[in-house]
Amino acid sequence: MAKLTLPQAGFLIHHKIPLSKVFDATGMKKEEYLKVMKDLGMTIAIGLNPCTAREKHTLKDKYGHCVQCKTNNFAFQKRYNELGFIYVARSESIGLTKIGTAKDTTQREYSLNNFGYGGSSDWKIQFTKQCNKHGRIEFEAHQALMTHNVHRSYWKQGSLIDCTELFDCEVELAIKTIEDTILRY
């Protein structure tokens, strides 16, 4: 029986993961605990072999990855099936459309412009929709519009960031793609 360490408990609290979503996989092989996690709807497994990081983390997600090393992957997985907002934003200066997710679309519009997302600071959110599985809807809408995908970069806090959520298409096409995707769920 595995016991949570103080840093692990802190991680769970920080990421708002209830203990009811933590599964003790002590002694199980990867394929076994991954199946059980999926069947039971668990978020985190404990009691596993440590990751290769210096800290030797033992919290794993439903794919067997260390959630403490790659918190951005964990955040994406968590958002994938949650209730939230999906939005379409447009920058007229660069002629591109962006599909994304946010908890607060007003704040998101501000941050897109403040950081110069994709090399533009005239982003206007044209469409928002609250929906279940907003991360999944976003992902599938991106896949559906892949032929329109455009990569741009911008500087954020001293790092060059690659933008992969930009599309050379009209806002109406992006909205229709999102609405069609939502209908499938």
Q: Is residue 172 part of a domain?
A: yes
121, 44: one domain: no
Position 79 scores a pLDDT of 65
HSE-up of residue 157 (Cα within 13 Å, Cβ side):
1
99, 174: one domain: yes
> pLDDT of 65-94, one tens digit each?
888 887 666 666 666 667 899 999 999 999
26, 110: one domain: no
| Domain endpoint, select from 63, 80, 97 | 80
Position 73 scores a pLDDT of 62
Task: Give the chain's domain count.
Answer: 2
Q: Is residue 1 part of a domain?
A: no
Q: Which domain holds residue 95?
A: 84-183
Position 77 scores a pLDDT of 63
Position 133 scores a pLDDT of 86
159, 141: one domain: yes
> pLDDT of 103-122, one tens digit each?
899 999 999 999 999 999 99
Positions in the chain whose pLDDT score sits under 50: none
The answer to pTM > 0.75 is no
